[in-house]
Amino acid sequence: NSRTHVLITDWREAKPCLQVMQDSGQRERPETMIILCDLPKSHENAVSWAAKQDVSKCKLHVLLESPNKEHFQEIKDLLEGCYQSMSRKRPVLLPSAPGPLAEPDAARSSSDRNSKVTIASD
């Protein structure tokens, strides 16, 4: 299967999640794992741990949660990058019968609308 997955987890669950993926030998793994840390010391430990991992099968991104919620923008940027990567791997399918999506301009504007990722916070 060529589906692209992204796993967003906190630091406490990152190591067990990666271990399960490695032990299971699954072919389908997340393309990217985003690890959120709530404390600077946790962030430091997660960065150190991530630097020692084999990232050829799953890219690791470690983010420190910020009081201003700036980490949401970083997550959004990473998800958009994953979406762009996924879009290059999969062809765009257009309907065979003529219709609004069969028009090249309509298809382009439709895909442009769908390329945006929105993350809302409280």
Cα dihedral 108, 109, 111, 117, rounded to 10, equals 150
Question: CA 120 to CA 69: how far, in whole Å?
Answer: 10
Model confidence at 75: pLDDT above 80: yes
Q: What is the pLDDT of residue 46?
A: 95
**What would the pLDDT profile of 30-45 be if each residue is shown by its tens digit?**
888 999 999 999 999 9
Residue 85 is which amino acid?
S
Q: What is the pLDDT of residue 96?
A: 57
Q: What is the pLDDT of residue 121?
A: 40
Q: What is the mean pLDDT of residues 87-114?
A: 52
pTM of the model: 0.65
